[in-house]
Amino acid sequence: MATARVLGASIKRREDPRFITGKGNYTDDLKLPGLTYAVFVRSPHAHARIRKIDTAAAKAHPGVVAIFTGKDMAGVNSLPCGWLLPELKIPPHMPLATDAARYLGDPVAVVIAETQSAARDAADLVDVDWEALPSVTRTEKAVAPGAARMHEVAPDNVAFKWQIGDAAATDAAFKSAPVVVKKRIVNQRLVANAIEPRACTARYEEATGDWTLWVTSQNPHVHRLLMTAFVLGIPEHKVRVIAPDVGGGFGSKIFLYNEETVCTWATRQVKRPIRWTADRRESFQTDAHGRDHITDAEMALSKEGKILGLRVKTIANLGAYLSTFAPAVPTYLYGTLLNGVYEMGAIHCEVTGVFTNTTPVDAYRGAGRPEACYVLERMIDASAAALKIDPVELRRKNFIPKFDDGYQTKVALLYDSGDYGPSFDKLLQMLDYKKFRADQAAARAQGKLVGVGFSTYIEACSIAPSKVVGSLGAQAGLWESGKVRVHPTGKVTVFTGSHSHGQGHETTFAQLVADSLGIPMDDVEIVHGDTGSVPFGMGTYGSRSASVGGTAILMSLNKVKEKGKKIAAHLLEASPNDMEYVDGKFTVKGSPQKAVPFGQVALVAYVPHNYPEGLEPGLEETSFYDPANFCFPFGAHACVVEVDPDTGQVKILRYLAVDDVGNVINPMIVDGMVHGGITQGVGQALWEGAVYDEQSGQLVTGTMMDYALPKADMLPLYETGRTETPTPVNPLGVKGAGETGTIAATPAVVNAVVDALSGLGVDHIEAMPLTAERVWQTIRAAKSRT
């Protein structure tokens, strides 16, 4: 019997029943016999030499099982950096620092005890003799003369200098340009703040020599590979890494961290399982942070508003050490996106990556692409203001015309397909732009500050082609695996290397399988997050699950069908070439009455009594998919705000988004991801920001009391729409939806606030977040100028 088409339908999530009843299975929920608890001793200083660590009193504390410092971990190597740039300075990053601590929270010892409270009490008794050293936390101060130095390999605190584009062509474009707009653009430091804190439980079984590590990971195989091959030197095949239900990641759970490495090492020493769970303060101090750029941007334009050139100089703060993929984020995930959706005369971008005494910075939702989009979309609006051209018109004037088979940008990327006008038109229609401008004028006449901001963005996602990323410095391949196991009863288990930490893979991948095989979704199980059962996997980040992971599954489904055709053809005494697969049945083309249902073929594959000569029994296929290119979602967002002229308070009146993420497997899930993405982008624009005290190097925004996360009553209901331009890159035509909102939202909101203040002569606000105080100061400064 044919099932209704499930691909493209808003099907309720199959993972939800366990989450809404409290039966989720997160890392900290796991109970093991003999479990011990780890608490890390961390640096209270931004930068300090370790003179001595005295653990005697702590060791004597009741319930303490063991205490280790870095000196105990002989033979253990530095945490690796997985992305190399030319002449990159790579300082050692030991799991427990031995010589000096280089940021607040840098771990120097671990206490393992019978209970969490005993471990915590004993950790307080570890006596570290610190010699506080001068620190530098501010991005712009890292390379200033006299700035504190923290690594021998980088005496000037510079990790790399990188550039992309054509410097000579860009200089030439600026030389002859009638209009040049210059702005300093600060993209502040953010903290991912997945609501589930990072956690791990490590267990070593002496009898077999096997390790099991349960860890909050977006990519368990990557965790295993980096930890075994580079740091601990233990056999990869003897370690099983399980990432069970994971409570959000947003990038912060991609990376190999100190804590799971130390626990995996220590469990063998204490011969008991060890659990560590971060408290929120540790999350703030040690989860890789995001963004933190200072950029000087210049845009050259003709009088009519054609973009002739873009020149970008960025300092990117990398924190105290190189996190796993840190060098890629402010370079290849940033500079390559500066072409946006516009035709540009020339582009040149140079980036200096610097070390500071701060938490390491790495990918956070969007990772480089939001920073690029923010620079570009802010410059477009600033240029529109300088030219006195409507920002809508300036965008339209510069859009790349529709293309179906590739557009070569000025910064290396080859876009897949694009048609940027329709999504923008649809957005303007939803907004009723003409009416908005009339209403805005009326509101202004009454002294109200109302504004609209736009963002016409593009992103590169489905982070993949191994050859390409390899040539750019990645030390990993970026393909994905998908294994389809058909059971003798015709039920199907799929093993995917992608990992869901909120994305809903158990539903969307089941939709894909059910659609392809014409079987009920209830007959399909999706397994992910376990190196013990999944062949290999690169995991989930860079909006790659559906496009790369989904395609790998599709390839295996096609192999299953090809093999099934041979079996069915044998049963029907037909030629395999004459077979087709329709609605869950193998049939002979043109003779639909000659058919063998999927379940029967599955059974015959495992009970091969009447079976094609030479064909292997069984029905299980594995595929590894390495795409030919990235995918390029695009779209247009608009935000309408009202600014209180007396307090500077910004209120979002409307938020509209039209995204083109290619074909959509489950619209409900895609909309949900867009909502969440927008919210993180809005959060950056208006409220969020990690702040270090310049003098002491302390993280001032170290709890959820000090770091302002978006709450329900700060946000409107979102108005979302879609255009669907399938990507030619993969057979599903899907791109990626996880990061579009975060990329697009920040400039849309900031542009809206600037538009609201434009009547006061404001054309730019240098730094975010646009708190009431910052906006109030901007209003005051503008009024004092007039």
Partner 1 sequence: MKKTVTMTINGVSYTHEVEPRVLLVHYIRELAGLTGTHVGCDTSQCGACAVHVNGQAVKSCTLLAVQADGAQVLTIEGLAKNGQLHPIQEGFWEKHGLQCGFCTPGMIMSAYQMLQRNPSPSEAQIRHDLEGNLCRCTGYHNIVKAIQYAAEKMAGT
Kindly list the residues in this chain that would bind partner 1 in the complex (CB under 8 A): 12-13, 15-24, 26, 28-29, 31, 116-117, 192-197, 245-248, 250, 277, 279-281, 501-504, 668-669, 671-673, 675-680, 703-705, 709-713, 715, 717-718
Tell me how far apart the alpha carbons of residues 753 and 12 are, in angstroms, rounded to a whole number: 37
- Phi and psi for 583 in degrees, rounded to 5? 50, 45
Whose Cβ is closer to partner 1: residue 284's or residue 692's? 284
Whose Cβ is closer to partner 1: residue 38's or residue 376's? 38
Tell me how far apart the alpha carbons of residues 714 and 679 are, in angstroms, rounded to a whole number: 10
Tell me how far apart the alpha carbons of residues 616 and 606 are, in angstroms, rounded to a whole number: 10
Tell me how far apart the alpha carbons of residues 175 and 193 are, in angstroms, rounded to a whole number: 45
Whose Cβ is closer to partner 1: residue 121's or residue 292's? 121
**Minimum CB distance to partner 1, residue 460 (Å):** 23
**Minimum CB distance to partner 1, residue 251 (Å):** 12
Q: Name the one residue in this structure whose structure tokens are 């712009």.
A: 140
**Minimum CB distance to partner 1, residue 500 (Å):** 9
Whose Cβ is closer to partner 1: residue 13's or residue 224's? 13
Tell me how far apart the alpha carbons of residues 755 and 778 are, in angstroms, rounded to a whole number: 13
Whose Cβ is closer to partner 1: residue 340's or residue 702's? 702
- Nearest residue to 550 via CA among 482, 491, 502, 621: 482
**Minimum CB distance to partner 1, residue 607 (Å):** 37
Whose Cβ is closer to partner 1: residue 623's or residue 679's? 679
Tell me how far apart the alpha carbons of residues 286 and 103 are, in angstroms, rounded to a whole number: 9
**Minimum CB distance to partner 1, residue 28 (Å):** 8
| Sign, CA torsion 573/579/582/584 | positive
Q: List b or e across 565-599, with b for residues whose CB sees 16 or more CB atoms inside 10 angstroms.
A: bbbbbbbbebebeebebeebbbbbeeeeebbbbbb
Pairing of strands 492-496, 407-408: unpaired
Tell me how far apart the alpha carbons of residues 299 and 632 are, in angstroms, rounded to a whole number: 24
Name the strands in the sheet holding 127-132, side by side, starting at the edge strand that comes first in the sequence: 100-101, 48-54, 127-132
Whose Cβ is closer to partner 1: residue 322's or residue 546's? 546
**Minimum CB distance to partner 1, residue 365 (Å):** 10
Give the end-to-end CA distance of the chain in Å, rounded to a whole number.
75
Q: Tell me the β-bridge partners of 214.
A: 201, 242
Pairing of strands 579-582, 524-528: unpaired
**Minimum CB distance to partner 1, residue 174 (Å):** 40
Report the helix count and the strand count for the chain, using DSSP H and E: 18, 28
**Minimum CB distance to partner 1, residue 247 (Å):** 3
**Minimum CB distance to partner 1, residue 738 (Å):** 10
**Minimum CB distance to partner 1, residue 243 (Å):** 12
Q: How many residues does the chain have?
A: 786
Cα separation values, 783 from 225, 279, 755, 776, Å: 58, 45, 16, 11
**Minimum CB distance to partner 1, residue 516 (Å):** 24
With 0-12 / 13-18 / 19 or more C-beta atoms within 10 angstroms meaning exposed / middle / buried, residue 19 is middle
Whose Cβ is closer to partner 1: residue 612's or residue 676's? 676
Whose Cβ is closer to partner 1: residue 197's or residue 305's? 197
| Sign, CA torsion 711/715/719/721 | negative
**Minimum CB distance to partner 1, residue 190 (Å):** 12
Contact between 127 and 59 under an 8 Å Cβ cutoff? The reply is no
Contact between 461 and 500 under an 8 Å Cβ cutoff? The reply is no
| Sign, CA torsion 554/559/565/571 | negative
Q: Quick check: helix, strand or coil at residue 462? A: coil
| DSSP letter, residue 404 | S
**Minimum CB distance to partner 1, residue 62 (Å):** 12
Contact between 587 and 597 under an 8 Å Cβ cutoff? The reply is no
Element at 568 (helix H, strand E): helix 550-572
Whose Cβ is closer to partner 1: residue 34's or residue 233's? 34
| Sign, CA torsion 607/613/617/619 | negative
Tell me how far apart the alpha carbons of residues 115 and 36 are, in angstroms, rounded to a whole number: 6
What six digits make up the tokens of 29?
């929920």
Q: Quick check: helix, strand or coil at residue 371? A: helix
Whose Cβ is closer to partner 1: residue 22's or residue 614's? 22
Tell me how far apart the alpha carbons of residues 398 and 420 are, in angstroms, rounded to a whole number: 10
What six digits make up the tokens of 206?
């002496």
Whose Cβ is closer to partner 1: residue 247's or residue 309's? 247
Whose Cβ is closer to partner 1: residue 448's or residue 675's? 675
Tell me how far apart the alpha carbons of residues 478 and 549 are, in angstroms, rounded to a whole number: 11
| Sign, CA torsion 42/48/54/57 | negative
**Minimum CB distance to partner 1, residue 718 (Å):** 5
Whose Cβ is closer to partner 1: residue 398's or residue 500's? 500
Whose Cβ is closer to partner 1: residue 492's or residue 664's? 664
**Minimum CB distance to partner 1, residue 677 (Å):** 8
With 0-12 / 13-18 / 19 or more C-beta atoms within 10 angstroms meaning exposed / middle / buried, residue 515 is buried
**Minimum CB distance to partner 1, residue 598 (Å):** 29
Whose Cβ is closer to partner 1: residue 28's or residue 205's? 28
Whose Cβ is closer to partner 1: residue 16's or residue 54's? 16
**Minimum CB distance to partner 1, residue 485 (Å):** 26
Cα separation values, 418 from 372, 400, 402, 662, 716, Å: 19, 8, 6, 10, 30
Whose Cβ is closer to partner 1: residue 537's or residue 677's? 677
**Minimum CB distance to partner 1, residue 226 (Å):** 24
